Structure 1
Amino acid sequence: MKKTTSHLSLNGHLAEQKKHSEKVFSGELLQVFKDEVILPNASIGRREWIQHPGACAVVPVFSNGDCVLIQQFRYPAQQLFWEVPAGKIDPDEDPLSTACRELEEETGYCAEEWFYIGHFYPAIGYADEIIHIYLAQGLIQGEQNMDQDEFLRMYRVPFDEAISMIHNGEINDAKTIASIIRAHDFLNRKKSNNELVILPYKAISETNCPNREQG
């Protein structure tokens, strides 16, 4: 790709530096800021952005290749969405613990094997939210323990069908698309090598949920 320099400083530095920050809203989940920043060409710009605690998404996969999807209503978009289990990271909670907790709360399942298959930023233009993606295998059925304000339906779906649902537009939630595609790639690499594959992004395997007592 040809690099142009019309909008770059002489050293090619693209970072913006914070000059002033004002919190304009503080909610239970989100904090909203209005900042003044120094742009690469030394002029002043303004950025409105949302601070988010981060989240985890889980792709639960059975031994036969089926995966677990949930369906729930999302108020801002005013419609039902197909999703993978997911949720925000609570204070003093590490991402793997969040993934285990959300999987068990939303589906009732716990998993014997956990693989970290990457992360992504869903809204880089206006939020700092990061979503960590986990693949969960060795699923063990338990009981759902949803939050009081959480209502959803759970479905067991063949993985190839989930991929088709992405391509035909049935699944249009960004985190679910990213998570299923990455899990699909990871599983294919793992299967072809018949062993855990260390991908360009970090891959880990954990046995059992760290926040679940062993029987």
Structure 2
Amino acid sequence: MADPASFDRFAPAYDRFISLQPGQNSDWVAGLGLRGERALDAGCGSGHAAVRLADQFDEVLGVDLSAPMIEIARAKRARGNVEYRVADVFTVAERGFDLVYSHTMMHHLADYRGGLEYLKSLVRVGGTVAVVDNVCDLYPTPPRAAYLIGAWRGFPEHIAKLGWRDAWFEFRFWHSRPWLDHLASDRYLSRAQFRELYDDVFPGAQYTDLGWALAMRWTCGG
């Protein structure tokens, strides 16, 4: 049986899904106004954030386990200063990044704390670690009904916003078996658990509540 956590099974559909929500993967981190020589997008998917960061950093490395997602990134979001790499981000040998960024990747890890510690080891003194991850205060894994009810409730608004064709695609994607199986494999921290863990790994971290996720920014002081 295919790994439900893998994006390989629905990479093109997921890329289209994310493209209908412009900025969700990148607005917060781009809005920090950070600039520098080297940035790492850990779990870059199909490159939505990496291509935004390319406007702010001389070099951007986007790393993801999913070869189909990286293929899409290379085809649709290629830039001269962006390298896309199929790899486990926790095998990245480079160090000294000005920015280490991760978007909704951490909750997939068996060792969440270990993952955060590894990302912390990749940033230079004076650089920034920025992480966005899903949170849920009610239960670690929301039931499928929560997503389906949300899709039904949002459908009329999305028709007005996106047009019938794209809204219908989005609605069907929320109901697709591979996506629902993937969501069922997710394990989220509550807001309190998130802050407790991140405060321990990143003392003095700053937080932004995005509603469906918490965003954390921390500057390495050496």
**Same fold? TM cut 0.5:** no
Q: Which has the higher helix share?
A: 2
TM-score normalised according to structure 1 size: 0.25
TM-score normalised according to structure 2 size: 0.24
Q: Which has the higher strand share?
A: 1
Which of 1 and 2 has greater Rg?
A: 1
